[in-house]
Amino acid sequence: MQKNVLLLTGAGQIGMAIARRTGSGMKLVVADKSAANARAVCATLTQAGFDAEPCEADISSRNSVRALIALARSRGPVTRFVNAAGVSPSQASVETILKVDLYGTAMLLEEVGQIIAEGGTGITISSQSGHRMPALTPEEDFALAMTPAEGLLALDLLQPARIRDTLHAYQLAKRCNVKRVMAEAVRWGERGARINSISPGIIVTPLAIDEFNGPRGDFYRNMFARCPAGRPGTADEVANVADLLLGPQGAFITGSDFLADGGATASFFYGPLRPDLKA
């Protein structure tokens, strides 16, 4: 007898924490661009009693995503989807950030939205960074939300001459993630399914450690030190939010984004992290 499938893209600490919290009794298909990462996470999950299968997949390639989805569907109906894949501003170029974090997420939501089972749920991991960027025009927001994924990277606001640096590219990608989730929630709703996003703040993961050791390390350390929580978060705390959104308690929630940042965004706009204040 086939099990329901939880499809996870991005074999990192946040994705694994969500899978552990929400994947009991399910078949877990764990995909990552690094086959070694996917195998390592599956080994940890298997040792904890989960039924996990690794798969190498590149979320910036539609063919790779379609092959992944075909594998997942061969194991059973895909009833849960978690996208935790991505690169950070200190890890990649502007072009790679837009290709993976922006186009890749949009394309994933398109593809999974065509096969998600009735009653299925999904989340994608965005970032607080998308909330710190100044507001876009209504026309730009609409374009990020509604342009078919294959046309996204041709939008005027995503051209290299208009992007200052990798952080700006990352902010645009994460703003796009939130807008895509809103638009896709309408399409997923036609299948009786739900999709939401979570925007974490500083969560202690290998990716965050790259940021701490990168050119913006002082900025990030100051952010979590001066936010209301006074500390970085953990992957398990993101999984707490995911548990609500993926489960029956969240049945009335779709098309939404949830900040889980210890109040850093609030402090950025209305507290000691305001850019106009000197440290």
Residues designated catalytic? 170, 174
Backbone angles phi, psi at 74, to 5 degrees: -70, -15
SS3 128: coil
Quote the CA–CA distance of 160 and 95 in Å, as a whole number: 8
What lies within 8 Å, CB to CB, of 100 at 6+ separation is: 59, 60, 85, 86, 87, 92
Quote the CA–CA distance of 106 and 147 in Å, as a whole number: 10
Residue 54: its H or E element:
strand 51-56
Quote the CA–CA distance of 50 and 18 in Å, as a whole number: 13
Nearest to 83 by CA among 114, 123, 32, 130: 123
Identity (one letter) of the amino acid at 60?
A: S
Instruction: Find how far residue 141's CA is from the centre of its chain.
Output: 18
SS3 232: coil
Nearest to 248 by CA among 17, 14, 22, 8: 22
Quote the CA–CA distance of 20 and 50 in Å, as a whole number: 8
Identity (one letter) of the amino acid at 241?
A: V
From residue 81, how far is each of 6, 85, 108, 127, 170 by CA, in Å? 6, 12, 10, 18, 22
